[in-house]
Structures are given as C-alpha cells and as structure tokens.
Structure 1
C-alpha cells in the first residue's frame, strides 16, 4: 500500500507566510517607516472620528457625554430633510461639484497634452515650474490674491472694465458670480499640479506608435486622438472615479475664505454649513447626521460610477 504523502499543516503554512511577510517588511523597512505619518494621519483624523458617528442618532450633550446622551433615532435626519436651508445648501454643493468636474477635471488633461507637444526642454521645465507654484499656496493666500485682483477700487479687473466705461463691480459680493469664482480659483491653483500624473502617463507611451502613425500620414491632431488619449484613458478613468468619490467634498477652506453673508445663498456648501451649525451653533448631532448623509451619497456615487466604468471601459477601482 502506497504511503500517503505528508502535507504541511495549516499552522505551519501560516507561520511560514507570516515569516515571509516580516522578512519582506524588514528588507524595505525604510519605505514602511516613511509611511507612518500618513498612516497616523488617516487613523487620527479619518478612522477614529468614525467611532463617534452614532451621535447622529442621539441628542448629544457635551456634559452627559457620548454614552450618556439619550437616543432619538432618525429625528436629526428627518429634521435635515425638513430644513429649508439644507435643501438649498445641498443643491449648491451638487451644482458647484458638477461645475468643478465639468471644467476643473479636464483642465490638467488638456494642459498636459499641450505641454507634451513642447519640444524645447528648458521652456517646458520653466512652464511646469510656474504652473506648479500655486499648488503650494494656502487658500488664505489665494483668496487674498483674488481680493486684490477683483477689488472694486484697486482691482486689475475693474480697472480694465473702466477703460470701456463699465462701473466697478464688487465680484466677491455678487451672489451670481461666487460659483464661478470658486471653480476658476480652484482651476488656477491645482491645474498645474494635476498635470504631473498625466505627464507621467504620456511619458510611458511607446514612441514607435507615433512613428508608425506618422508614416501612415497622420498629423499631430490625429495622433493625439488615435494614440495619446486612448493610451492615457486608464489613468483618466481612475482619476475620474476618485474625483467622483470626492464629489461632495468640495473643500471647507476653499469656500470659507471666499463666501460672505452676501453670497451665502449660492456659495454655501455642506462643509461650511456643518462648520457653522456644528461648531458655532453647537448642533453636534444634527451636523453629524448631515456629514453621514454626505458620506453615504458619496459612497453610492463612487460604487455606481465604478460599475459603469467597469462595464464601459474595463477600468475600475475595485
């Protein structure tokens, strides 16, 4: 009778795999070490606060504490949908987020394609340095620059309008213009930084494809549509899905430094509303419910967009 072949037990296999993982981590310990600040950031500011999210279902009182406050169920969510300001602010968030995707998302793609056509390396590096710089400025500085440019008394824009006999306009006090200012200021600040990933993707395209297309008589425009854009499409799709995930996270600081009581109607978004109602008016449970609603909507949008992307392009995040 043939002797049965001995198989290693599950515990032995598990121990060997764990040992391999630890050896791998020790080999690249420097890389893991520099990831510690990022891991701590997400643990402290992203995951730890999730533990108190259930106060959205409580009437939270800072003196009674998280566990001592009474349960109220879905009362805050019902109040949220009955609140007239919430519906207006949610609409503002959707509109501003939609404008940001419509205009801000394609901007770095177009700029990267244009930079890719620049053949003089020194000139190309100079342009990249100039357009990267606004990314490192805070929104407080950006708003100060905007105030200086759009000022009704000393602003460059109003000075130029005066050449045509147009009266000075208080742009930052015009409710109808605040959305445009928010979107365009974001484009100016981040468009250069956003080109980095696309330029890296463009650098990975095989030059032989362009040579073959040129032999076939394709000009640069046709090469862009037939080779360049399809080659970087996976990168575009992944970044678009990440953008969809942050659709309702337009940014508190980005909006707060620009809006004022004159522009609340069209400029206030969920993030600024959560700050005003949650911290200034101390409605902690209500604003936690608003934040939870925003997160759920963002998750639904991401899952739906991911499924559509997988079916249409074959690219997806998960």
Structure 2
C-alpha cells in the first residue's frame, strides 16, 4: 500500500512540475524538433558505411551489397592514414592550446577594464570576426600572405624573410591556420566566460581588497575558481572534438603543396566523398572519427569529474 501511495504522490508531483513549466517546454519544442530532424535523423544514413552504396539506391533490399568492416579496414590500412591522424592531431592540438585559452585570457583582460565605453568597444570589436564568412576570412588571409601582400611585406621589411607566397609553404601552414582560427573565434568564445565572471559576487573582491589582495590574487583566487565549471565543460567538449578540425577553413587555405601538413580527415573525406563519390568509404571514415571523439569525451568527462567535480554528466 505504501509503495502505491508513493507512486501516486510522485505522479502528482511530476504532473505539477509539467504544468508549472509548460511554457518552457513549449519554447524548447522547436529546438528539439530541429535537433531530431537535422542531427539524429541523418544518423540513419551511417548504415552506408557497411555497404557498397550507390547514390539513389535504397538502404535495404536484395541489391544491397553488405561489406561489413571492409571500408574501416581500408581506411586504417590506407597509405594516408598516418598522415591524416598526425595532421589532425597537430592542427587540433594547436587550436586547443591557443583557441581554448585565448577566450579565457581575453575575458580576464576585459574584466580588468573599468571604463565602460572602452570595455564595450573592445568586446564588440572582438565579436565581429566571428560573424564574417569563413570564405571572406580565408580570402583576406590569402591576400595578406600572398607575394606582395600586407603580411608578407611586413615580414620581409621587419624580419628579412623572403617575399613569397606563404600559402605554398608547408612549414608555415600550421601557424597561418592557428592564427586565423583563433582570431576569428576568440571574441565570440569569450562571451560565456565574461557573463560568468559578471555573475561572481562582488563582495568577494571587496573583501579581498581589504585583505590587501592585488589584481593577480583576485584573479587567481576568486575569478578563476568562479568560472572553473564553465572552463571544465568547454574543455571536455573541445577534447571530444579534437579530431573535428575546422575543415572548411583548411579547404580554403591549403593547396596541394601543403597536403603533407594540412590534409586532415575532414578534407580527405571531402575530396573522396563529395568530389570522387566514394560515399561508403568516407562515411566509414567519418564514423571512425566520431567514435574516437566520443571515447575522448567520455574520458575527459571522467577526469574532469574527479579533478574539479564538474562534468557533462
């Protein structure tokens, strides 16, 4: 009898919570529908990774040729596999090192600006590159690093470097890609940190000042601990996506001369899948990359929970 009574009470509480938050659920519904339609729905197409799929053919039927893990084996044993993994990890690692820390450092610097107009101007100026199309950004960068370009002339006049097209220099590509990626995204990425810093109780800073703490001490012992949960969650997501480099930007910046250092899994699957039409093979490569990303996310979440007490789950 007591169990039945507890279940009835629990049902009443659940119904009450649903009634109280009905408007919030209504606001969430369109987003959930979009996620299901455009994120989870297309996942059914991953089945072609285990087939020799022909465009227009049904996923199931008598003419479907199932190949099991052949495409995965072909990808792993391919002559470009080592290069792709290396380039992906190097470029993603550079982006993780600089692209992840730059928004945090920028948010901390913005917090130290006391003049409101200057703070708003700095924030607005930093957000603008994010809203510029990647195609436009890549075009600007290529014009700057081309022979006779603004950056090329600066490097020649100041550092004595040769005046040449740096796009075709393999050693320069990681630097070009990292700087472009960080410049485009650090301002927008700092929004979450800036808002988190603004929510910290100001009385803590006042107490710290009374105790003689300078700005560095306030940042170290109040600001950073106050945003460590946001940092932990973003770091987990960044580590999980370490194999998902900004392929769009790389496609626009690289050339055959820089394939050895610039060709990543995303660009490789684009060339073979979209251009060459090997849909099953590239679907297998993409699924392989996603599986590793999930494992990395799971491991990073476990480590974050143990070290900071925060995680995605």
Which of residues 134, 148, 156 is equivalent to 2:150? 156
2:19 maps to 1:23: yes
Distance 1:18 1:256, change over 3 A: same
Superposition map of 1:225-304 within 5 A: 225-304=220-299
Q: Which moved more, 1:136-145 or 1:18-27?
A: 18-27
Shift of 1:251: 2.5
Distance 1:270 1:173, change over 3 A: same
> What secondary structure sits across from 2:155 in the alignment?
helix
Aligned to 1:70: 65
Shift of 1:45: 2.9
Provide the rounded CA distance (Å) in 2 between the counterparts of 1:314 and 1:210: 24
Aligned to 2:97: 102
Distance 1:64 1:213, change over 3 A: closer
Superposition map of 1:202-221 within 5 A: 202-221=197-216
Equivalenced residue count is 310
Distance 1:51 1:166, change over 3 A: closer
Shift of 1:20: 4.1
Shift of 1:25: 5.4
Q: Which runs of 5+ in 2 are unaligned?
A: none
TM-score normalised by the chain length of structure 1: 0.90
Q: Which has the larger radius of gyration?
A: 1
Distance 1:17 1:221, change over 3 A: closer
> What secondary structure sits across from 2:59 in the alignment?
helix
Distance 1:6 1:73, change over 3 A: closer
> What secondary structure sits across from 1:274 in the alignment?
helix
